[in-house]
Structure 1
Amino acid sequence: MSKEDELSLVERLREKDHTNAMREVMIRSPLAHSRANELTTSDNATSLKHPKGTVPALANSLMVISYLNSKAPDAQTLAEISSTLHLTKSHCHSILRTLVYFEWLAFDDRNKTYKLLPSAISDLSSLFTSPLLETVRVCLSDFVDQLDLPCVLAQPLTDGSFVVIDTFRCRRYIDAFYTVGHRFPHNASAHMRALIAWSGKERIQKHLAEWKPKKYTDFTPMTRKQIEDELVATRKRGYALSIDELSDNLTAIAMPIFDRNGEVVYIASCSFLSREHDFNYQEISAKLRKAIDHIHLQSVATVPAEFRIVR
């Protein structure tokens, strides 16, 4: 969808308030890829070998789950799954039957397709019910209620990307949002800055040494000097700000949430259309900072001294 089409859609929605037209704009930003996606789309995918020490059957099962998750809500056939993941049909069929038996997958006998079941989440429920996460949810829900602005909670992953683990919707007419499971790339401007800005000089230098520029828009920072300047600005203002850097006409404000060890465990962010001029950065950041300060207080988090400074 072009920038002009997106704006005209927003205008049409506002003009047709009396209809049942869609009330949300799904944000289409660049995606990071899961390990399964990276493995299966590599040049050597046809001769894929798992690292030494891994259990091939388990590794292949996890790749099947990751693949089906990436295709949701569309169901997939045995042929589609086995050919994409370069598994033999017999081996792939055994994996699928096992996952169906444990009710992680549903099999449609008529269409001969497989899809993930919500019951899979129940076996991973501890990931969604930690005391810290519950505190985060309460505080961010209150923040959204106060400003009527959607908020997204993402978790940093070991590959440098960020996965959305919860969303907090608002009543605002045009609700720009990401879905749970969306993965921001490692160089997503706001999230990257929120992650490393307060991590100390050594970590920052290590991150920058491994950083590779990728142009998403005409406003994407492409030099190390630009990134360093933005990190300084992030610490000075107390939050990460990205304007049209990851997606055209999209502004994002992000802040880190620390745990008891002083590590960034989550990134809270708000995104909105850049052409919406009624958003007040100072008000949004102040309210979000208040919510995050309360999270840190309730969870007895270890917060870097520079981040604790009241702006």
Structure 2
Amino acid sequence: MAAKEPKDPEYLSTLERGLSVLRAFDHDHPEMPLSEVAVATGLSPAVARRCLNTLVKLGYVAQHGRRFLLRPEVLVFGSAYLSSMNIEQVALPQLQILRDQTGDSSSLAVRSDRHILYVAHVSTNRHIRLGANVGTRFPLHATSLGKVMLAFESEAEIEATLAQAPFDRFTERTVTSAEAMRERLAAIRERGYDSALDELDYGIVSIAVPLFDQDRTAIAAINCSTSTTRISQDELVRTRLPLLRDAAREIEAALRRWPVLAHSLRRT
């Protein structure tokens, strides 16, 4: 039997449990009874109840009858990150320029375990079936943003991710096998970008490029995304790639002037 890892005396398991309760609520689970919170978090009902009662008293969770739901106070955490990291000055101007030049939605995202997490987003008035906002998470393997970040990670990290295959299939074009993903990542490293067509949902085409810090570590990615009724994938790559690369250079330069954000975006 393998020896257990020694417990870190600085690690607060109670804080971990409280945060897991907050993260359990999402678009599909806006309110839940205690039993569902316990299942979603893997906590015992007694522990989940103590976490919920504490969060209610702190103002982050409300109770309506036998069901619990988040309160607006949780937005304080996200707004504190956005304001302290200066994202509006570092990233948003270039994303807005991309949106104005192309009419596409434009985003900056980081990796969050097996997902991507939108950190900045500029949308258009055009309707896309899968809308996105700051804080939106999508599966890493089914997005151009996710694959372009994964392609420039270490071989050990890539292999650890591929070991989780087969990946969930969302359309007939979703890359689900480790072998196919390995080939895709090699192609991305060679050309420096990724483009996805109907991989997360039908009718969506996107293109993404990585963002590098001063150590040439890929810390994030930016993209353009739009409807397939507006443009073909080949035309998207031809017309958007130069604009994306220009925007990436500008954001990377801004990150060098504001290194605290670059440090924040790095996974390690």
Q: Following superposition of structure 1 onto structure 2, how do residues 118-267 of structure 1 map, counting pairs within 5 Å?
A: 118-129=72-83, 130-131=85-86, 134-157=89-112, 159-172=113-126, 177-199=131-153, 203-204=154-155, 207-208=158-159, 210-211=161-162, 212-214=165-167, 216=169, 217-221=171-175, 226-267=180-221
Match of 2:58 in 1: 102
Among residues 56, 60, 67, which one is paired with 2:24 in the alignment?
67
Tell which has more relative contact order, 1 or 2 (C-alpha 8 A, sep 6+): 1
| Alpha-carbon distance change, 264 to 160 in structure 1, aligned in 2, over 3 angstroms | farther
1:61 Cα offset (Å)? 1.3
Match of 1:58 in 2: 15
1:99 Cα offset (Å)? 1.0
CA distance in 1 between partners of 2:142 and 2:254 (Å)? 29
Identity across the alignment (%): 22
| Alpha-carbon distance change, 204 to 138 in structure 1, aligned in 2, over 3 angstroms | same
| Alpha-carbon distance change, 171 to 215 in structure 1, aligned in 2, over 3 angstroms | closer
1:163 Cα offset (Å)? 1.6
What do residues 200-240 of structure 1 show as CA deviations (whole Å, max 9, x unaligned)?
Answer: xxx24751465124362333345666445434543454421
Q: Highest Rg: 1 or 2?
A: 1
Unaligned runs of 5+ in 1: 1-50, 303-311
1:123 Cα offset (Å)? 3.7
Bigger drift between 159-168 and 208-217 goes to 208-217
Aligned to 2:19, what secondary structure does the other structure show? helix
| Alpha-carbon distance change, 101 to 276 in structure 1, aligned in 2, over 3 angstroms | same
| Alpha-carbon distance change, 62 to 209 in structure 1, aligned in 2, over 3 angstroms | closer
Aligned to 1:218, what secondary structure does the other structure show? coil
Runs of 4+ aligned structure 1 residues displaced above 6 Å come to none
User: Residues 150 and 175 of structure 1 are in contact (CA less than 8 Å); yes or no, is this contact kept in structure 2?
Assistant: no
CA distance in 1 between partners of 2:55 and 2:181 (Å)? 44
Pairwise CA RMSD: 3.2
Aligned to 1:177, what secondary structure does the other structure show? coil
User: What letter corresponds to residue 74 of structure 2 in structure 1?
Assistant: A
Match of 1:39 in 2: none
User: What letter corresponds to residue 67 of structure 1 in structure 2?
Assistant: A
Among residues 285, 290, 293, which one is paired with 2:249 in the alignment?
293
CA distance in 2 between partners of 1:88 and 1:227 (Å)? 37
Among residues 210, 226, 234, which one is paired with 1:272 in the alignment?
226
| Alpha-carbon distance change, 205 to 225 in structure 1, aligned in 2, over 3 angstroms | farther
| Alpha-carbon distance change, 71 to 221 in structure 1, aligned in 2, over 3 angstroms | closer
Aligned to 1:76, what secondary structure does the other structure show? strand
Match of 2:264 in 1: none
1:165 Cα offset (Å)? 2.8
Unaligned runs of 5+ in 2: 1-5, 260-268
User: Residues 167 and 177 of structure 2 are in contact (CA less than 8 Å); yes or no, is this contact kept in structure 1?
Assistant: no
TM-score by length of 1: 0.65
